[in-house]
Amino acid sequence: MPTIPQTIPVEVQKDLSLLKADLDSKIPFKKLEQNLLIATWNIRAFGDLTEKWKSESIDSPKRDMHCALAIAEILKHYDVIAVQEVKSNLKALRYVIKAMGDNYAFLLTDVNKGEVGNNERMAYIFDTRRVQLSGLACELTVPTEWLGIDTGLAKDQFVRSPYAVSFRTQNQTFILVTLHILYGNKSADRINELKGIAKWLRDWASDTYSYHQNLIVLGDFNIDYRGDVLNQTFISEGFHIPPQLASPKVTRSIFDETKFYDQIAWFKDAQGVNNLNMEFVTGGNYNFMGKTLTNQPTLTTRNISDRISDHFPLWAEFKL
């Protein structure tokens, strides 16, 4: 595990203090035995790390130790975070976990090989004081009966297999399923995979809820716009996106506020009642633009994307 230098530059300490203060003012506090904070974050190309406090134009990657500490500070404000775009190189992830402290752990998949897999993993980072693993960890695959059949569903295995892990907190068990949908050459390329995953999870949810387990789906669905055909495909099997997260004010992309890529969702029954034993309280994003790397005012949006991410974290608070 990488070590964190004992001496952090004063300008970095000041920047991190400002970031923490802003997070504290916008993200609900963790309340013992009262709430649960779940988040999802596509951290762009989360792989290697430049071991400098300030990367230079010749450095690759541009993500440096200052950026890693900023990412760690953001992640620490949640109990469980599903992370997409973790690469085969785990240097940045290990540095971030170390910076978060001994109370945090992670679980991740192997690398998705092949061109469309983009050499990515999916991961969960969690606060062990607040949640514990409860036994299930698996990747979801397409049933063989679906393969090669023109059903309007996925005809191949999912490009990046959805990753399901069960957690326990207090008297609640919850299963998180994180995924990163195929992007493709055009939005229509995503429809079959979205439809196939929605059907797979609809069938599974019927079983899990009968055992009083909460099934929550979260990740990067690569949905372009609110209400578009991809959005409609995603919710066609009964997925519910709470209004607080569907609001146009809750942006996902640092480049385009109209994009609707990332979601946290669950199913409702035929009467419109949430298939959850936990009560959803509120949710939102965390817009870190202008709140971190403030000691480098000349950085462009693209520069921030390379250093932190091109996505904002999306979070939901539940009452226990």
Q: CA dihedral in degrees (32, 33, 35, 40; nearest 10)?
A: 80
Lateral strand order in the sheet of 35-46: 104-108, 120-127, 80-87, 35-46, 314-319, 279-285
pLDDT class of 270 with cuts at 50, 70, 90: confident
Is the predicted pLDDT of residue 151 greater than 80, yes or no? no
Question: pLDDT at position 114, please?
Answer: 63
Question: Which of 88-102, 103-117, 143-157, 167-181 is the most confident on average?
Answer: 88-102
Question: pLDDT at position 77, please?
Answer: 98
Is the predicted pLDDT of residue 150 greater than 90, yes or no? no
Q: Are 220 and 259 in contact, with CB atoms under 8 Å apart? A: no
Q: What are 203-216's pLDDT values in tens digits? A: 887 766 555 578 99
Question: pLDDT at position 170, please?
Answer: 86
Element spanning 163, H or E: strand 163-169
Distance CA 193, CA 312 (A): 24
For residue 180, which of 193, 199, 167 has the smallest C-alpha distance? 193
Question: pLDDT at position 203, please?
Answer: 80
Distance CA 17, CA 294 (A): 11
Is the predicted pLDDT of residue 110 greater than 70, yes or no? yes
For residue 47, which of 100, 108, 102 has the smallest C-alpha distance? 108
Is the predicted pLDDT of residue 227 greater than 90, yes or no? no
Question: pLDDT at position 192, please?
Answer: 79
The two structure tokens encoding residue 246: 């569907």
For residue 182, which of 138, 120, 116 has the smallest C-alpha distance? 116
Is the predicted pLDDT of residue 172 greater than 60, yes or no? yes
Element spanning 107, H or E: strand 104-108
For 82-105, what is the mean pLDDT? Answer: 96
For 163-174, what is the mean pLDDT? Answer: 92
Q: Which residues, listed in sequence order, are joined to residue 319 by a DSSP beta bridge?
A: 35, 279
Is the predicted pLDDT of residue 8 greater than 60, yes or no? yes
Question: pLDDT at position 154, please?
Answer: 47
198: left (phi over 0), alpha (psi -120 to 50) or beta: alpha
Tally helices (H) and strands (E) across the chain.
Answer: 7, 12
For residue 215, which of 194, 197, 233, 191 has the smallest C-alpha distance? 197
| Average pLDDT taken over every residue of the chain | 89
For 223-237, what is the mean pLDDT? Answer: 87
Three-class HEC string of 287-305 = CCCCCCCCCCCCCCHHHHH
For residue 233, which of 260, 197, 195, 275 has the smallest C-alpha distance? 195
- Could you tell me the pTM of the whole model? 0.93
Is the predicted pLDDT of residue 168 greater than 90, yes or no? yes
pLDDT class of 6 with cuts at 50, 70, 90: confident
For residue 120, which of 180, 79, 195, 60 has the smallest C-alpha distance? 180
Question: pLDDT at position 64, please?
Answer: 97
pLDDT class of 149 with cuts at 50, 70, 90: very low
Is the predicted pLDDT of residue 292 greater than 80, yes or no? yes
Q: Which of 21-25, 126-130, 139-143 has the lowest mean pLDDT?
A: 139-143
Is the predicted pLDDT of residue 81 greater than 90, yes or no? yes
Fold entry, domain 10-319:
Deoxyribonuclease I; Chain A (3.60.10)
What is the Cα gyration radius of the chain?
19
Q: Which of 3-12, 142-151, 159-168 has the lowest mean pLDDT?
A: 142-151
What is the percent of the chain where pLDDT is above 90? 63
Question: pLDDT at position 233, please?
Answer: 85
For residue 36, which of 169, 126, 125 has the smallest C-alpha distance? 169
The two structure tokens encoding residue 16: 């991190």
Q: What is the DSSP string of 17-52?
A: HHHHHHHHHHSPPP-TTTEEEEEEEEEEEE---B-S
